Structure formats: C-alpha cells, structure tokens
Structure 1
Amino acid sequence: MRSWRDNTPARHAQLAVLLLFSAILAVYYPAMLSGIHMVDDPGIVSLYGTSPRLSLALLPGQGYYYRPILELTFWLDNFFWSMEPRVMHLENVLLHCANSLLVFLLGRKVLDQGSPSGGEGRGPFWGALLAASFFALHPVNVEAVAWLAGRSDPLLSLFVLSACWFWLNWLTQPSWRDLVAALLLFSAALLTKETALAAGGVAALLALVWRGGATVRQRAGALGLVAVPALVLVIFALAIRSGTSGLSRFIATGGLDAGKAVGDALAACGFYFKKLVLPLPLNFAITAVDPCYAVAGAVVVAAISLLFLRRRLTAALFASALLVLLPAVLVAVRQVAWTPIAERYLYLPSAFFALGIASLATERLKPLRTVLVAVLVPLLLFFAVASLQRTLLWRDKIAFCQDAISKSPGFGTLYNDLGVVLLQQKRFDQAAKAFAIADRLNQRESMRMLIKANLMSVAFTQEDYLGVRRQFFRLFKEKKEAGAEFLELLQRADGRRLPALHGAVKVALARDILETLDLLNQKRYDPYWLYRSGQLSLEIGDKARALDYFNRAYRAAPPDAHYVKSTELYLRKLRKQ
C-alpha cells in the first residue's frame, strides 16, 4: 500500500500550494495592519457598524448597486467582530489565497487537456504553478486585496473561478451535481457583483472548445440554464431603471457617440492588456487613457482572433480574460465610476490571462523552456517585490495620497482625500490647503458639497467659528437649502460662540441656533436635537418652550441614550415651577 509520502504528484501539489500561500502572506501581511482607507471604507464601516437589520444587506433598493452577498459579508463582519479592520483585511487576503488555489487547480485541468500525454507529465504541474504564481503576485491585484472596499472583485472571482471548475468537470463527464454546483456558483457571482454577467460568455467559450463527454445538445441546454439567472438580473435592472441602479446605468445606451465609444473601448482594452504585461506604474486614480492605446486594443482583439485558428483552448483563455474585462471597458466608456479606469478591475481578467500565458508557455514554447525559466523566475520575484512595496504604501495614507497625486495631479478628489487624512492627524493648515486645492480642481458635482463641508470642518477645528458661518451662507441663501451635515456644522460653530456673548446678542444667536436645530431635526431626525433645543430655550428664559422640547425628547429618546437622565431632571425642575 502506497503512503502519502510515496505519492509524488500529491506531495508536489501540496508543497506547491504551501509555497503559494506563503508567498501571498509574505507579500500581503502589511495589508492586515493598514486600517481603514479614506476612500469608501469609512462609509462601509459606519453603515454596518451601527448593526443594521439584515434586510439592509439582502433586499434591493437600499443602495446604488444590488450586491447582497457582498453586503452580507460586511454585515457578518460587524456581527462577529465589530468591523475589526485587521480581521476584514485578513478575509481579503484569504480570498486571494483561495482564488490563487483555484487558478492552480484550473491550470492543471486546462493544461492536462492540452497535454499530448494526457496530462500526467511535469508540464501541466509547472504550468499551473506558473499561472497561480503570476496571478497571486501580480502587482495590479494589490488594490483589490489591500482595500476593504475592493473585496467585491476577489469575492466575485471566488464564485466565477469555482463555477468554471465545476463547469469543466461537467463538460468532461456530465454529472447533474457538477452542473448544479456551476449554476449555483454563477448565480452567487451575479449576486456579488453585476459584472459577473460577462462570465456567461466564458462558459460559452469553454463549451465551444473543451473536449469532453458532453454532447452538443447537452452543452446548448446547459448554456440555456446558465443564461437564466443572467436574464433575471438584467430584467430586474431594467425594471428599476430609475437611475438608482448601477446596472441600469451600466446597460443604458442613450447619449453614446458610437465612433467615440468604440475608440474609447479599444483604448481601454489596450491599456488594460498593457497593464497585465507591464503593470508599472501603479496608480489608484487613473483618470484618462492615451487614445493611442486604441491601436494596442485593436491588436489584442486581432491577435486573440488569429490565435483561435491555431490554439483554440489557449485562445479561449485569452478571450475569457477579454470577456471578463468588458465590464471595465464599459465603465471607461460610460463613465459610471469615480475613475474611468481602475487596476482592481483587472483582478478576475488577470486569472484567465495567467492561465492563457501558462498554456502558451507550456505548449507552444517547449523548446525554450530553459529560457522561459530564466525569464519567469526573475519576473515573479519582481512582481513579489513590487506588490510588497505597493502593499506597504497602502499603510501610509499620506504617502499613498501623495503618490496618487504625483501621477494624477489634476484630480481634485485626491487632494480632498489627502485633506481628510491631514485633518485626522490634526495638521490643520496643511489640510486647509489640500481642501482649497481640491475645491479649485474639482470637476465632479458629486464631490462639490463634500469638499465644501470639509473646508468648513477645517475652519471649525481651527476655532474660526465665524468663518464657518460665513462659508455656510456663501453656499446657501437660506438654511432650509442646506443638508444635515452643513446644518450640524453651523449649529456646533454657533454653539461655541454662544457662551462668550451677552444680552440681546446672545438671545438672538440662541434663537438662530434653535431654528437650525429644528431644521436639523426635520432632515436627520434625532431626539438629541430636541434635548439641545430644550437647553437653549432655558438659556434664553423660554421655560414653556423648553418644557415642550424636553417632553418630546424624553418620549422619543432610546432608553439607553446618554441624555435621558438629564432630560428627566430638567422635566422635574420645570414641572415644579
């Protein structure tokens, strides 16, 4: 009887996986210490850190996108470990480990089919390890792994790559278990991120080129089943096509110039494939792509098409990378994200690209295997060092912002992000300068009021309370036009001025603050504002009004609110008088 130690292929596979995981942990361990990033992460933590109902994560209509499985992971993060950043970062790293393992397993399966010997030789094993290492260490994947808000791409990839594994099993030897597993995983991918729609094209490509026991009729029927959840998602998006659905905007066709759209699409495609081959320099905020990349995009599409004539399976892998890249290309064309181009969008495409590279290297370039090893080993070491350096940069928020600004100096949003970090570090003068630059450079209407609010926050922290008021009324003619965040800043600034005033001036400002608090309570209902209004009413001697405010605050306040006992004391005193 043979022992595990005698089972050389199994031992090699397990050692390869151990080596792969060790390399990933060595590269990404700094990410677990990088805390909360200033972009999107605070919104996730504040939303789910309040322990919302599970329906917030699972039901549609709660946000811009419908991604219930992704949102469920954040809900569980709060349920189990109260949004602890180190654990959440560890989850992202473990997702990357799982996806790298799936690339290794898919690589062995794909290269087995392409091997003349039936797949038990050394070529498929080393080719699969090459693909997994290329994917695991590729610098463009740092953004998706090191950023909490980037979890959507590793989680999506987990479901898509797993679905492909079961799909290939079914194509090789049809089994209802494999088909059901593939369908469920594909559906899970759609409920993680709507860009999983492109994975249906991958399933069709693999069904076209994969040699196996499934008949043409069986393949066509199975592809019909794969299309069902995708059609349901598209119909759902069209049904709520009010602009609140990210997918509805994504698939809209109005307002497009066809010629420009094709040029933009080819340029984005060329730029992304260049990033897969030559990833540096890395940039968190890519705002534009040179139109000349359209030539590279056309070459990529033509090369993949020509490759189909010679190596159908290898071509299908590169074409799969292109297919799952299409949503990112459409983002660049439609301009539906805060940056038209993003490195994190390459996470899933890089998996299929790595498989294509491994297939090409192990089959077409066999005579040059020694040269390949001499080239690929240093390349992977370079990838590892570049990824580690990038992961370390994610830990230093100011250096991260400065790096992005140096590469996209005209993007105002980056200066706003830098200002937020400087404000947190109490470097108020530098924060004020950063916000002022952000205000000057900003071209996004969605960022305008946020930057203005940050400018007011700096004035408040610098104790320029009159400056806060001046900025407020430069923005709004009347208080009722302002959002809750501006009203709150105004009442806080005015409240700090109040103790230094006397007589009629103090009474006038107190009444002004009461007006602000009433509006604030209408826009962001919180019994605390009623409690504060009661206190202010007492300060100006309006006891009847104070009693009304305290009564309303006491009835509406949560039992554990910190001001409940104080409200009771105020009510007792006022009722005795």
Structure 2
Amino acid sequence: MMNDLKASLTRVHIQILLISGIILLLYYPTLFSEISLLDDQEMITSLFNSSVFNIQDIFFPRAHHGGYYRPLIGLSFQFDKIAWDLAPTTMHLENVLLHLCIALSMLWLGRILFRQRPHGGVVAFCSTLLFSVHPLATESINWISGRTDLLAGAILLPGVCLFIVSRKHMHWFGMVAALTIMMFSWLAKETTVAFILALPLLIAGLESGHLVPYTEHQHEKFQAGFLLCGVLAVLFEFATYNGLVAVLIIVIAGGFYFLKFSTMADNFRKASMLLLLSLLVIMFIWGSRKLAFVSSFPQIGQTFHKILLDPNRTVHLFLGAIAFYFKKFILPVPLNLAISDIDPVYGIIGIAVMVACTFLLIRKSLLSGLGLSGMALLLPVLPLALGTIAWTPYAERYVYLAMPFWLLAFGCVVLEKKIALAPTVLILFSILLLVSSLITFQRNLIWQTNVSILADTVAKSPQNLNVHGLYMSALFSKGYYDEAIDQYFTAQKMYKIIVNYDDRMDLLYADILNIQGKQDKAEHIYRDILIKSKGKSIGALQGMIGYYSYLMNKDNKQKTVYLKAMKGYAVKLTELTTNPEDLYQLGKIYHRLGEYSSAEAVFNTALMHHDLDASSNIAIHKIISHYRSRSCLK
C-alpha cells in the first residue's frame, strides 16, 4: 500500500491535478467576493475614469512625489479593463490562478532541487501543498490590490527554475533569459530586487551537496563558541534593550567563525560578488525611479531620517519584524488585515533568528540557500515597520513571497532525516494540511464581504482609526445606518485628539443624518468639519450647498438669502477643485441670482475642460445663447 501511495504521489501530472483542484476548491468563495473598500474600490473607479490607455504613462509617468514603482501591476489592470471591463469575479479569478501558477512553479523548483534525493518528488509535492493551503496567502489572493505579491512571484519563481537548469548545463543564453525574467518581477513588486543578493547563496547551497548545514568534528568547538556568543547576544538584548550592541556581537562572532571555514581568496571573491550585486541592486532601484519619477514622495526621506535618528530603536524594530513574520509563517493565526504593532518581545526573539541566519550564511547547504532566499525577500519590507510609508507597519502579505523558499527549506530537513514516508510524519502532515485548509477556507468566507472582513479587523485592531472608517463605510453601503452610527461614536470616543484631521467619517455620519431626514443636525456636522479642516473639506462645502438647496425647496420665500449662502460655499469649492461640474453649478447659482456676467465667465471656464459632462456642456451653450439673444449682457 505504501508503495502504491509513493508511486501515485510521484507522478507529476497527478500532483499538478491535486494542487490545482485543492487551490480552486479552497478559493472558490473568493470568486464571489465584493470589491474591497481598501484601495480596490478607489483603484477601479480611477481606471473607469481614465479614458486613454498610454503605456508610456504606465512605465514612465514622470510624476512628482512618486511612490511605488510597479508598472506591471498598472499594465495588468489596464488589461482587465480592456478584456472584461474590470469584472470583479474575473479579477478575483486572476489572483487565484496566479497563486496556482506560483504553486506549480514551486513544485517545479522543488523537483529540480530534490531530483537526486530519495522521495524528493514527494517532499517537493507536500511542500507545495502546504504553500497552496497556507492561511497567510489569503490576504494577497482575496485583496485585488494584493496582486503585487502574486504577479511578482509568478514571474520570479519560473525565472529561478530556468536559471538553475540553465546553469547546470552551462547554457548562457538561458541564464541571461532567466535573469531578465527575474528582473521583470521587480516591476511588479520592488522587494524581489533583494533576491539577487540571495541567488549566489542558493547556487552555493545546491553545489555544496549538503541538504542541511554540516560541521566537521574539528570545527565543532568554533561552532559551539559562535552559538554561545549568540546566546549572550540574546541575553544582552533582554537585559539592556540594546539591539545594536547585540547585533554587533553576532557580526563579530560570525565573522571570526566564517574566517575559520574559508580561505582568504574565497573570502575576497565572496565579498566582491556581494558588493557587486549590492551595487547592481542600488543602481537598478535608483535608475528605474529616476526614469519613472521627477521626485520621490517625502515619506521615503522621512523613513531614512527615522532610521538614522535612533539606530538602536530601528535595529530593535527590524529584528522584531523578522521574528514576527517568521512566527506568522509557523503559526499564522490570528489572521489580521491591519496589524498596527507587535509585542516588544519579538525584538529579543529576532536576535535568535539573526544568530540562525548568520549560521546558515556561514555553513553552506541547500537549506541555507533556501532559508536565506526567503529572508532576503523580507528585508526590503522591514523599513515599513517605522510606519511612515504603508498604511500599516506590518502585514501578513509580506511573508507570501518568502513562503515557497521556507517550505522547501523544511523539506530539506525531512529528506536529510529520511522520514518522508514515515507513518507518523504522514499523519502529522495530513492533520496540518487539513487544519490549514479549514482556516484558509473560513478566512476566504470572511473576505467575501466588506462588512465581515472589516468587522473582523476592527475587533482585532480597535486602535486603527482608518479601519473604523472603512467599517463604517461598509455598514453604510449595506444600509446598516444604526450600526454605522454606533461605529462612528465608538471611534470618536477612542480618538478625541487627532493631529492630522480626516473628514471622511464625519462626512459619512452627516450623509446618514441626511438620509434619516435630520438635515439640520447634518448642517451642524458640516460646519464642524469646515472648522476642523480650516475650510478645506470639499465634502463639507458640497454638503452646505446641498443643505441650503434643501432649505430653498422647503421655503422659497428666502430664496435669495439661500442662493447667496450657496454662492459663498460654491466659490470656495471651485477654488479647491478643478472639477468642471462644480463650475457649472456655480454658474447656475450666479444665473439664478441674476448675476449674468459672472455666470457667463464661469460657464466659459467650465467649457475649457474636456472632461465636462455632455449634458452639462449642452446646457451651458443653451444658457449662453440665451444671454446673447436676449441681450442680457451689457
């Protein structure tokens, strides 16, 4: 029976069918998920409003304050618009298929790496199954904007496979093609640029012939000394909260340990290669951003300033982030869309993780190459922990690209111990696969509606004001007005003092009051918003115009008074926005007040905008023709 199981599991076409079936089954609910209010809705609205597709603007936007440079993502969304008019089901299906593509690429990579090992195909398949059902993948797949991880991975992993195969046969054209493919993954997500630093480690580990780090008997005392220094570094961090010194201890001990295993020529060659690759990475990032943007957004400079301002805190945050992400990989629950902070104890655990990484860096093995490849893909996201760039300092999706390499690294241990088909291991694997699948499926159900995913997020991150606002919007869109109001006042109690005022929750509350027929109460909210925003809230100005329009319809005797009030707010509105429809509305107010000269001037300004609504354009021309035919103007 065991031989039959082994035979069936090693047939690659059966493996592909099983992986495909499991992924499509688990992520079937995703196909019917709503468009997420977090970025997705805004992105789709922007795509619908953009009339002209210009590939040059995607790759070289020449924008001021440029942020992420991910042109392949923009290109994929433009394809969605042309091919199926941004149909949500199809866009969700694309994400699922990209995940499937990455899983099959991981299977290919595992079969290449484990080809010469007994049961290597089975271990590659089982590792891929765990990746396919891993709960941490749900955020990248269910969130359409999370396509950055999926598209980058779907390009990177086939490139890695092609490079390893081409290098084995010394096929230079294949290696160049593989590096080019990997380079394109950088255009989907910048973090993959760090993989080039780990690629030599992966190749060295493959060539070493060792699955796991191996230490000869005469070197065991040096290894013990290094590990002792690692323990001291952990204790020092625990006692003093000084991560900088703890890292220095590890670097010095690791350097000494490294010198015992390498010749001077070998050290020079490795250092030169690392320096060359680092310069290549820096040049690529700098060059691509220089071509794409006129200037970078200020948060990048603020991040570097924070790093240098308090290096000890920065090191502690980075180490904590590494430990936290590795813990999430091992134990993903509880899943949370908005992780605002982590336990400080992760900073201490991070020292232990760094000791392990340093040991892997020194002792070449396939496990070392795979483990450090995954770690390299995490390094670029560490500055986000400072909270100046992304909307959350930590995110589960950041681990997605590292998972294939880490799971294959665990496969190395299974192969080394020769326990791939041991009954106990198969039972534990089956339990893990089943539990992970259930968690993933349940999480996909939560992602189906904005109300359910945001309710879950608010419960787990009650301190995140942005999440409260999104949850309130989700409740509002479903008509749950009382629940939305409860959410509004809950947030108000928690955030009585806000440095950077955001008017969205207040505006939404005013909208609910208007729907409930409480226009006078809504007017007080609009006035309060204008005070808080120093008169710069576009929504509040529009609300005040709407309020006086409501009063005018209710009491036509005060028409002139209300129109003059509307004019004041409409003038302020047109000073803040370039929307021609706002100019059109201001012109109509002037017209109703009998200020025909001002009305014509505003109408002519509105006509200069190409994006003016067709019906408004026709109406303006009729009014201006009326002015001239009746000689209303002097």
TM-score grouping bracket, smaller chain normalisation = 0.7 to 0.9
* C-alpha contact 2:127 2:408 (8 A) present in aligned 1: yes
Give the C-alpha shift of residue 13 in structure 1.
0.6
Q: Which residue of 2 aligns with 1:391?
A: 444
Q: Residue 497 in 1 paired to residue 551 in 2?
A: yes
Q: Residue 194 in 1 paired to residue 248 in 2?
A: no
Which of 360, 374, 381 is the matching residue for 2:413?
360
Relative contact order, CA 8 A, sep 6+: which one is greater?
2
Q: Which residue of 2 aligns with 1:102?
A: 105
Give the C-alpha shift of residue 298 in structure 1.
2.4
Residue type matched to 1:59 in 2? F
Residue type matched to 1:125 in 2? G
| CA deviation vs aligned residue, 1:354-392 (integer Å, no higher than 9, x gap) | 111112112234387322111111111111111010001
* C-alpha contact 2:44 2:86 (8 A) present in aligned 1: yes
Which of 314, 322, 334 is the matching residue for 2:375?
322
Q: Residue 345 in 1 paired to residue 341 in 2?
A: no
Unaligned segments of structure 2, at least 5 residues:
1-6, 210-265
Give the C-alpha shift of residue 554 in structure 1.
4.7
Q: Which residue of 1 aligns with 2:285?
A: 233
Residue type matched to 2:545 in 1? Q
Give the C-alpha shift of residue 485 in structure 1.
3.5
Which of 297, 314, 330 is the matching residue for 2:350?
297
Q: Which residue of 1 aligns with 2:590?
A: 537
**Counterpart of 2:502 in 1: which secondary structure?**
helix
* C-alpha contact 1:460 1:493 (8 A) present in aligned 2: no
Relative to structure 1, the CA distance from residue 530 to residue 135 in structure 2 (aligned partners, 3 Å threshold; closer, same or farther) is same
* C-alpha contact 1:286 1:408 (8 A) present in aligned 2: yes
Residue type matched to 1:26 in 2? L
Q: Which residue of 1 aligns with 2:507?
A: 453
Identity %: 25
**Counterpart of 1:511 in 2: which secondary structure?**
helix
Q: Which residue of 2 aligns with 1:157?
A: 153
* C-alpha contact 1:207 1:219 (8 A) present in aligned 2: no
| CA deviation vs aligned residue, 1:258-316 (integer Å, no higher than 9, x gap) | 22222222222222111111111111111111111223322233234445676611122
Relative to structure 1, the CA distance from residue 555 to residue 305 in structure 2 (aligned partners, 3 Å threshold; closer, same or farther) is closer
Give the C-alpha shift of residue 560 in structure 1.
6.2
| CA deviation vs aligned residue, 1:328-364 (integer Å, no higher than 9, x gap) | 3332245532211111111001111111111211223
Q: Residue 286 in 1 paired to residue 286 in 2?
A: no
Relative to structure 1, the CA distance from residue 187 to residue 209 in structure 2 (aligned partners, 3 Å threshold; closer, same or farther) is same
* C-alpha contact 1:241 1:248 (8 A) present in aligned 2: no
Relative to structure 1, the CA distance from residue 182 to residue 77 in structure 2 (aligned partners, 3 Å threshold; closer, same or farther) is same
Q: Which residue of 2 aligns with 1:46?
A: 45
- Separation in 2, partners of 1:171, 1:219: 22
Give the C-alpha shift of residue 447 in structure 1.
6.6
- Separation in 2, partners of 1:420, 1:355: 42
- Separation in 2, partners of 1:219, 1:27: 45
Q: Which residue of 2 aligns with 1:129?
A: 125
| CA deviation vs aligned residue, 1:229-249 (integer Å, no higher than 9, x gap) | 652213555897965166655
Give the C-alpha shift of residue 494 in structure 1.
2.9
Which of 526, 540, 546 is the matching residue for 1:472?
526
Give the C-alpha shift of residue 40 in structure 1.
0.9
| CA deviation vs aligned residue, 1:78-112 (integer Å, no higher than 9, x gap) | 22222111111111111100000111011111112
**Counterpart of 1:49 in 2: which secondary structure?**
helix
* C-alpha contact 2:96 2:141 (8 A) present in aligned 1: yes
**Counterpart of 2:11 in 1: which secondary structure?**
helix
Matches within 5 A, 1:162-561: 162-211=158-207, 224=276, 228=280, 230-234=282-286, 237=289, 244=297, 254-307=307-360, 312-333=365-386, 335-366=388-419, 369-442=422-495, 448-477=502-531, 481-503=535-557, 505-554=558-607, 556=609, 561=614
- Separation in 1, partners of 2:272, 2:447: 46
Q: Residue 58 in 1 paired to residue 111 in 2?
A: no
Relative to structure 1, the CA distance from residue 61 to residue 311 in structure 2 (aligned partners, 3 Å threshold; closer, same or farther) is same
* C-alpha contact 2:26 2:437 (8 A) present in aligned 1: yes
Residue type matched to 1:290 in 2? D
- Separation in 2, partners of 1:248, 1:234: 14
- TM-score, length-scaled by structure 1: 0.88
* C-alpha contact 1:139 1:386 (8 A) present in aligned 2: yes
* C-alpha contact 1:34 1:396 (8 A) present in aligned 2: yes
Larger displacement relative to structure 2 (54-63 or 79-88) = 54-63
Larger displacement relative to structure 2 (390-399 or 529-538) = 529-538
* C-alpha contact 1:413 1:438 (8 A) present in aligned 2: no
| CA deviation vs aligned residue, 1:172-212 (integer Å, no higher than 9, x gap) | 22222222222212221222122122212221312332329
| CA deviation vs aligned residue, 1:493-537 (integer Å, no higher than 9, x gap) | 33233222334x421321232233233333322332233223323
Relative to structure 1, the CA distance from residue 197 to residue 305 in structure 2 (aligned partners, 3 Å threshold; closer, same or farther) is same
Give the C-alpha shift of residue 158 in structure 1.
1.6
Residue type matched to 1:204 in 2? P
Relative to structure 1, the CA distance from residue 88 to residue 189 in structure 2 (aligned partners, 3 Å threshold; closer, same or farther) is same
Residue type matched to 1:151 in 2? R
Unaligned segments of structure 1, at least 5 residues:
1-7, 113-117
Relative to structure 1, the CA distance from residue 357 to residue 411 in structure 2 (aligned partners, 3 Å threshold; closer, same or farther) is same
Give the C-alpha shift of residue 425 in structure 1.
1.4
- Separation in 1, partners of 2:67, 2:487: 29
**Counterpart of 2:615 in 1: which secondary structure?**
coil
- Separation in 2, partners of 1:368, 1:83: 46
Q: Which residue of 1 aligns with 2:218?
A: none
Aligned residues: 560
Larger displacement relative to structure 2 (185-194 or 542-551) = 542-551
- Separation in 1, partners of 2:13, 2:537: 57
**Counterpart of 2:334 in 1: which secondary structure?**
coil
Give the C-alpha shift of residue 70 in structure 1.
1.2
- Separation in 2, partners of 1:536, 1:230: 56
Residue type matched to 1:493 in 2? Y
Give the C-alpha shift of residue 401 in structure 1.
1.7
- Separation in 1, partners of 2:58, 2:504: 25
Matches within 5 A, 1:23-38: 23-38=22-37
Give the C-alpha shift of residue 219 in structure 1.
13
- Separation in 1, partners of 2:201, 2:37: 40
Residue type matched to 1:77 in 2? D
- Separation in 2, partners of 1:391, 1:515: 49
* C-alpha contact 2:159 2:182 (8 A) present in aligned 1: yes
**Counterpart of 1:275 in 2: which secondary structure?**
helix
* C-alpha contact 1:173 1:212 (8 A) present in aligned 2: no
* C-alpha contact 1:159 1:189 (8 A) present in aligned 2: yes
**Counterpart of 1:563 in 2: which secondary structure?**
helix
- Separation in 1, partners of 2:390, 2:576: 28
Give the C-alpha shift of residue 423 in structure 1.
1.0
Q: Which residue of 2 aligns with 1:5?
A: none
